[in-house]
């Protein structure tokens, strides 16, 4: 194959170097495009844009392949732990026994949060969404770690990374406790990462929670499966914020905000809400599928479709098998799992889904598992964030180490050409002068 691509603009031919990845993926290098041609590329949603070169995670959306640092997700899911996977993603190799011991030791050392941080929880209303609290608390954490704002050496980075991953579970569980009006539970140093989180979530002052091993294993699996996914919306956000020179805490707090949206990490909660709605209202699944296909209806089948996967998401397969196993052990039948399976069956036989290559994604079954573990729906995306943290950190590090350029896309301006300022007295009147009230009682100004 050619190592240059030819571009013809107005009769002039330009050679664009072709960049080839280790798995054969090919890109036209347009880094000098504007400088040499005056043109930019238009690619809203960036579906055709490689924003960086990265050695962290490989996804082949056509073949349904996902590998962290070269290792297939199926192997990590069955043989690794979340703590080990964090090291792998961040440092590129599986840790030796000694490295793993030291790394786990850091997680134990930093599991407590500064006592001052606990007071922040009092400032949030009990209705505050845990993702808002999580993002705010990660930023607040940086105020207590001024020495970690500058990456002076490799140890500053390692301590920051370990603090973030370790303390995130403490903050997440504390946010939950604050939201239900229970006292915050402190971590226990002898517990492993997942058991410790479950302890802080579900222990009460007069009774320690001792989770079934299957529940701990399911949490471990969920965290591993979510740990990275190349240039997804939140990881790209982290890299974009990092590209301005912002510190690790600020960049990851931004990642939490990006993850929150229902088209990204918020989909796991949206799936369970959808299944609950279908169950409670005894909705005919064929009718529901007809609605999600209707272009006049904004409804989408949550947990279906993916920007990159055009086949079954490999993580969804693993999730489905785990949902079956876990429910059989701890909950018996869950009607929502049955609805999910029937819904999948109807969708996968439907021409609309076949033509558009829409398959279940990681979120389709994860919510059912989290529900079986007793995790409340508004904490689902928080668990996703806990899982994705090592991926964000690995991407932050890669961006930082590469001395990568400031992320600053161009645009094609489609607004007004130059015009003069009109004094307010000469602008006429509009309906906006009579504010309206929305159905929910909110005053607003309708624009015409
Ligand atoms: N239900 C119904 N129609 C869909 C769906 C869906 N879930 N997903 C895509 N489509 C249709 C869409 O309407 C469009 O149809 P047409 O070509 O007729 O206009 C076509 O499929 C392509 O959709 P798109 O929005 O251009 O595709 P995309 O690659 O930009 O979207 C997506 C990817 C994940 C945003 C989308 O599939 C979606 O909204 N899914 C539901 C939300 C969801 O489950 N998100 C979790 C994603 S995986 C975890 C993560 O990344 O965090």
Element (H, E) at 215: helix 213-226
Give me the pLDDT at residue 166, please.
97
Give me the pLDDT at residue 1, please.
78
Q: Is the pLDDT of residue 197 over 80?
A: yes
Tokens in use for 255? 């990642």
pLDDT (tens digit, 9 = 90+) per residue, 235-258?
999 999 999 999 999 999 999 999
| Ligand 1 atom showing the smallest separation from residue 364 Cα | 44
Tokens in use for 98? 């000694």
- The residue to which tokens 């603090």 are assigned: 163
**Helical H segments across 32-153, by residue range:** 33-37, 73-79, 82-91, 97-109, 115-122, 130-143
3-state secondary structure of 316: helix
Give me the pLDDT at residue 434, please.
56
Choose, from 306, 313, 334, 350, the residue flagged as catalytic. 306
Q: Is the pLDDT of residue 178 over 70?
A: yes
Give me the pLDDT at residue 429, please.
77
Kindly report the protein residue whose alpha carbon is nearest to atom 2 of ligand 1. 300
The CA 222 to ligand 1 mean position distance, Å, reads 22
433 band by pLDDT with thresholds 50, 70 and 90:
low
Give me the pLDDT at residue 2, please.
78
The CA 21 to ligand 1 mean position distance, Å, reads 27
325 band by pLDDT with thresholds 50, 70 and 90:
confident
The CA 301 to ligand 1 mean position distance, Å, reads 8
Q: Is 306 a pocket residue for ligand 1 (Cβ < 6 Å)?
A: yes
Q: Is 192 a catalytic residue?
A: no
437 band by pLDDT with thresholds 50, 70 and 90:
confident
Q: Which of 71, 318, 81 is nearest to 223 (CA)?
A: 81
User: How many Å separate Cα 53 from the centre of its chain?
Assistant: 20
**Mean predicted confidence (pLDDT) in 77-87:** 98
Q: Which of 230, 258, 305 to mutate to test the pocket of ligand 1 (most atoms within 8 A of CB)?
A: 305
Q: Is 265 a pocket residue for ligand 1 (Cβ < 6 Å)?
A: yes
Percent of the chain with pLDDT over 90: 80
| Ligand 1 atom showing the smallest separation from residue 233 Cα | 51
**Average pLDDT value over all residues in the chain:** 92
Q: Is 279 a catalytic residue?
A: no
**Mean predicted confidence (pLDDT) in 190-213:** 95
Q: Is the pLDDT of residue 343 over 80?
A: yes
| Ligand 1 atom showing the smallest separation from residue 229 Cα | 51
The CA 310 to ligand 1 mean position distance, Å, reads 11
293 band by pLDDT with thresholds 50, 70 and 90:
very high
**Mean predicted confidence (pLDDT) in 35-49:** 95
Between 191 and 327, residue with greater pLDDT: 191
Give me the pLDDT at residue 443, please.
73
CA distances to 56, 193, 330, 389, 398 from 248, rounded to whole Å, are 17, 21, 38, 11, 12
448 band by pLDDT with thresholds 50, 70 and 90:
low
Q: Is 263 a pocket residue for ligand 1 (Cβ < 6 Å)?
A: yes
The CA 306 to ligand 1 mean position distance, Å, reads 6
Give me the pLDDT at residue 126, please.
82
Q: Which of 436, 391, 355 is nearest to 225 (CA)?
A: 391
pLDDT (tens digit, 9 = 90+) per residue, 396-428?
999 999 988 999 999 999 999 999 999 999 998
265 band by pLDDT with thresholds 50, 70 and 90:
very high
Cα distance between residue 82 and residue 193, in whole Å: 8
3-state secondary structure of 20: strand
CB 64 within 8 A of CB 312: yes
Give me the pLDDT at residue 128, please.
87
- The residue to which tokens 């993580």 are assigned: 315
Kindly report the protein residue whose alpha carbon is nearest to atom 29 of ligand 1. 307
Give me the pLDDT at residue 102, please.
97
């Amino acid at each position: 194959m050619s190592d240059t691509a030819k571009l013809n603009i107005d009769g002039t031919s330009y050679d664009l170097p072709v960049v080839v990845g280790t798995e054969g993926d090919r890109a036209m290098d347009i880094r000098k495009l504007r400088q040499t041609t005056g043109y930019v590329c238009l690619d809203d949603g960036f579906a055709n844009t490689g924003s960086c070169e990265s050695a962290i995670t490989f996804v082949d959306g056509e073949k349904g392949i996902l590998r962290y640092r070269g290792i297939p997700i199926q192997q990590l899911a069955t043989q690794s732990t979340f703590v080990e996977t964090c090291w792998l993603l961040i440092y590129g190799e599986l840790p030796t026994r000694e490295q793993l011991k030291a790394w786990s030791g850091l997680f134990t050392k930093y599991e407590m949060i500064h006592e001052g941080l606990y007071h922040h929880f009092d400032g949030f209303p009990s209705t505050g969404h845990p993702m808002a609290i999580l993002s705010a608390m990660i930023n607040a954490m940086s105020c207590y770690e001024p020495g970690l704002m500058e990456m002076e050496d490799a140890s500053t980075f390692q301590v920051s990374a370990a603090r973030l991953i370790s303390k995130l579970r403490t903050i997440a569980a504390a946010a939950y406790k604050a939201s239900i009006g229970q006292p915050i539970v402190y971590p226990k140093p002898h517990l492993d990462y997942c058991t410790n989180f479950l302890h802080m979530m579900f222990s009460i002052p007069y009774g320690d929670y001792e989770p079934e091993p299957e529940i701990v294993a399911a949490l471990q699996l969920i965290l591993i499966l979510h740990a990275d996914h190349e240039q997804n919306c939140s990881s790209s956000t982290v890299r974009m914020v990092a590209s301005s020179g912002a510190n690790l805490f600020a960049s990851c707090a931004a990642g939490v905000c990006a993850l929150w949206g229902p088209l990204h990490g918020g989909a796991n909660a949206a799936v369970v809400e959808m299944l609950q709605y279908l169950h409670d209202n005894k909705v005919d699944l064929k009718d529901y599928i007809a609605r999600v296909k209707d272009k006049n209806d904004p409804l989408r089948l949550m947990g279906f479709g993916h920007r990159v996967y055009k086949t079954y998401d490999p993580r969804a397969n693993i999730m489905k098998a785990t949902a079956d196993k876990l429910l059989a052990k701890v909950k018996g039948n869950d009607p929502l799992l049955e609805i999910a399976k029937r819904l999948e069956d109807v969708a996968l036989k439907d021409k609309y889904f076949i033509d558009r290559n829409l398959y279940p994604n990681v979120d389709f079954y994860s919510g059912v598992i989290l529900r079986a573990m007793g995790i409340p729906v508004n904490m689902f995306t928080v668990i996703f964030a806990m899982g994705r943290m090592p991926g964000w950190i690995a991407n932050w590090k890669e961006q930082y180490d590469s001395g990568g350029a400031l992320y600053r896309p161009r645009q094609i301006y489609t607004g007004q050409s130059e015009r003069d300022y009109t004094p307010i007295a000469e602008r006429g009147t509009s309906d906006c002068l009579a504010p309206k009230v929305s159905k929910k009682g909110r005053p607003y100004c309708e624009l015409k």
